[in-house]
Amino acid sequence: MSNQPGPASWSTDYDPAQGAFMPDDNELVAVIATLGVVDRDFDVSISSTFVDGQKTLLGAWNHATSQGDQSPVGTAVVRTNGAIAWIEARYFEDSRSQAYRAMLKQALETGTDIGFSYTYIIQDSSTDSRELARYPGARQILKRVSVEEACPCLMPAGIGTGIRSAKQLASELDLMAIKRNVDALGLSMPSGEQADLAAIRDRLVVNQGIAAIQRADEAMRNSWRNQRND
């Protein structure tokens, strides 16, 4: 990550449609941050760090746009769900941007592990030791940032970043939602099945059903006690 802003003349007029994109043609989905996790710069992003729907730019490889002389290769929208932040982006149609797109696609096809990073302006942060105590190892909490550009790179500061297909991202978001439901019920994830969403859903439905039966049974018992007391 970098907190150096880019030229103010860059345009972010393009606003992609809602939903996740497939990175097959001109569109790309990439996770740029895992929230609540201390990154390699010893910063931590939280649920308020990113503004969902913020327009930004797709930068050239390894911050060559924000820190070098390369112009942006596309535009993007920042998305967040409180657990991760990602971009939904589209490449420009010019030959240079398309060459970057083709290069990135080829690298992915050969199995290269490509991460994603972003350049930002800090709008609110904290180095208060009392707040940092919640995140061992962190030196700074990024409470709110403006994402100036996001780009592919080999050594991102963020944890768990990288390009996703629409299907992969949907599965990750689905799993996060399931975990939240499991936690809300005070249950535990089934061991060894975390990658098997269908099995987790089935187990969750069963446990929700059991929990509902238990609540109904307790309600009947309370009703019976109240009637006896009357």
Q: Render pLDDT for 40-96 as a digit per residue (tens, 0 to 9).
A: 999 999 999 999 999 999 999 999 999 888 999 999 999 998 889 999 898 988 899
Is residue 10 over pLDDT 60?
no
User: How much is the pLDDT for 200?
Assistant: 47
Cα angle: 84, vertex 97, 121; to 5 degrees: 40
**Whole-model pTM over 0.85:** no
The residue that leads in pLDDT, 15 or 105, is 105
Identify residue 118 by its one-letter amino acid code: Y
